[in-house]
A and B are shown apart, each in its own frame.
Chain A
């Protein structure tokens, strides 16, 4: 039975946006890359469509990061994105920008492997899918994931100077 990509689109869109946003740190670009991910996947009929989509998304994000490094305007994109966002109020907007920066700093403090495993787990992939995507042994996924989560929380709290509200919520 051929893959129902429209259904996959509905079920995976938010996870892909979040995954890509944490990779490229640009909301508009993340949404655009999600569409591009499905455009590239449409002509295929993979056994595991969800894992296949995240594989494409990871490759797109990697290409995007390389292009961003070449253009050297990655930070400008973030600035533009933050400025264009809907602004409920100056104080809330400031807090939101600070939180975003703290998340980014925390993620970038991780190793590339820990970061990838963490984002794939957050996107809802199973342990075997994470193992295949990250190139890890299945038995190493839990250990890597536990270490990544611990380091992320530590790094975020250090960046915030306190335990984040999100942790309590």
Chain B
């Protein structure tokens, strides 16, 4: 008969359940074996002694102290709950603070980004300050035109353009054309701040002004022999239109296309440049240098009446084939050109030929006084 192992004997001593695979043995079997086996009884006695000694060791030397009441535990639990709740509130507040910080940072970043895109703010000129003042909350009430623009909520770019235009000394009444105009480079805005020239040009390029129309009418009047006044005695609108009518340099071929035929030139003079009008008029400006150093310019274009006639009669009647020379004008005198006007001032003279108006102007004169007969002779050399 095999002996009972120490684990089973320990469980027997501790009155615990039989161990593992020995459940079937049961307490009765252990007791039966112990009755018959002296060795196992001796081992059981040793285990019992060690058990009691171990318990005595473990319970020796413990300091005597009265137990705290259960109320203390409950109070401690309540304080812990409040502390946890406070911590949760603090955590929630911290989260809100972080969220507010992030929102604030984004807002500041957005504002800084917007400001970085506004050259008005970056600059330091008087125009800049004017633009800031005009866009700030303390700015005066908007003018009617500006108020209308605000009512339809124009794009920010358009509003900035109008602000710049106003700061540059432009007209106070803002037209939609100006409001929608593309942005002007910094250097050009400086020019605008100096004299408003750029913005004026933009206005005229986008929408011909009444002044230009008046100039056009006066040129047409010259073609009809009503006389053209130029120079110091010319009407102010005409002078202004002439001064602001920009010319774009071009080639001889492009000039031919604009006129619908080869332009008339002073025979024997050196042609230095061609330019076409960018105002919408079919005009060509040709600069020629004469032998004595005199520089003249020939402004050639159609009379409005001729243009209207061509438009009404068909493409075939649009004039001479490209490159075909026009007939040279006859000798220029008022008597010979009945109905085709010749008018002369001190430095300019015009002549109309077959629906084309040619104006000859002295740009640089070798002699201070340019006589009328000299201009007439030049006109007679047009070929």
A residues neighboring B (CB under 8 Å): 5-6, 9-10, 13-14, 17-18, 21-22, 27, 31, 35-36, 38-39, 42, 81, 85-86, 96, 99-100, 103, 106, 118-119, 121-122, 126-128, 137-143, 145-150, 152-153, 156, 164, 166-167, 169
Residue B367 is within 8 A (CB to CB) of chain A in the complex: no
Give which listed residue, B10, B22, B57, contacts A166 with CB less than 8 A. Answer: B57
The tally of CB-CB contacts under 8 A between chains A and B is 135
A122 & B59 in contact (Cβ 8 Å cutoff): yes
B55 & A122 in contact (Cβ 8 Å cutoff): yes
Give which listed residue, B20, B57, B74, B80, contacts A139 with CB less than 8 A. Answer: B20
Assuming the contacts A9-B70, A31-B68, A35-B73, asked whether A146 and B16 have C-beta atoms less than 8 A apart, the reply is no
B56 & A166 in contact (Cβ 8 Å cutoff): yes
A169 & B56 in contact (Cβ 8 Å cutoff): yes
Interface string of B1-42 (1 = CB under 8 A from A): 000011111110010110111100000000000000000000
A31 & B20 in contact (Cβ 8 Å cutoff): no
Chain B residue nearest in CB terms to A104? B61
Minimum CB–CB distance from B119 to chain A (whole Å) comes to: 61
Minimum CB–CB distance from A27 to chain B (whole Å) comes to: 4
Assuming the contacts A18-B59, A96-B61, A139-B7, asked whether A152 and B20 have C-beta atoms less than 8 A apart, the reply is no
A156 & B77 in contact (Cβ 8 Å cutoff): no
Residues of B within 8 A of A138 (CB): 17, 19-20
Residue B327 is within 8 A (CB to CB) of chain A in the complex: no
B58 & A126 in contact (Cβ 8 Å cutoff): no
Chain B residue nearest in CB terms to A121? B14
Residue B133 is within 8 A (CB to CB) of chain A in the complex: no
Q: Show 23 residue pairs from A and B whose CB-CB distance is below 8 angstroms, ordered by the A residue.
A: A6-B70, A9-B73, A18-B59, A31-B67, A35-B73, A38-B73, A42-B74, A85-B63, A96-B61, A99-B61, A122-B55, A122-B59, A127-B14, A138-B19, A141-B11, A142-B6, A142-B14, A143-B5, A143-B6, A143-B10, A166-B56, A166-B60, A167-B57
Assuming the contacts A139-B20, A143-B10, A145-B10, asked whether A21 and B62 have C-beta atoms less than 8 A apart, the reply is yes
A42 & B6 in contact (Cβ 8 Å cutoff): no
A149 & B50 in contact (Cβ 8 Å cutoff): yes
Minimum CB–CB distance from A123 to chain B (whole Å) comes to: 9
Minimum CB–CB distance from B218 to chain A (whole Å) comes to: 101
A86 & B17 in contact (Cβ 8 Å cutoff): no
A139 & B73 in contact (Cβ 8 Å cutoff): no
CA distance A38 to B52 in the complex (A): 30
Minimum CB–CB distance from A151 to chain B (whole Å) comes to: 9
Residue B47 is within 8 A (CB to CB) of chain A in the complex: yes
Chain A residue nearest in CB terms to B8? A142
Give which listed residue, A38, A42, A146, A156, contacts B47 with CB less than 8 A. Answer: A146
Chain B residue nearest in CB terms to A81? B63
Give which listed residue, B8, B53, B67, contacts A164 with CB less than 8 A. Answer: B53
Minimum CB–CB distance from A139 to chain B (whole Å) comes to: 3
Residues of B within 8 A of A126 (CB): 16-17
CA distance A130 to B252 in the complex (A): 111
CA distance A81 to B61 in the complex (A): 12
Residue B371 is within 8 A (CB to CB) of chain A in the complex: no
A164 & B56 in contact (Cβ 8 Å cutoff): yes
Give which listed residue, A10, A18, A35, A122, contacts B72 with CB less than 8 A. Answer: A35
Assuming the contacts A35-B68, A146-B6, A146-B47, asked whether A99 and B60 have C-beta atoms less than 8 A apart, the reply is yes
Assuming the contacts A145-B10, A146-B9, A146-B47, asked whether A128 and B55 have C-beta atoms less than 8 A apart, the reply is no
Residues of A within 8 A of B61 (CB): 96, 99-100, 103
Assuming the contacts A39-B77, A122-B59, A139-B7, asked whether A153 and B53 have C-beta atoms less than 8 A apart, the reply is yes
Within 8 A of A (CB), among B357-371: none
Assuming the contacts A139-B20, A142-B6, A166-B53, asked whether A27 and B65 have C-beta atoms less than 8 A apart, the reply is yes
Assuming the contacts A35-B73, A142-B19, A146-B9, asked whether A18 and B58 have C-beta atoms less than 8 A apart, the reply is yes
Residues of B within 8 A of A36 (CB): 76
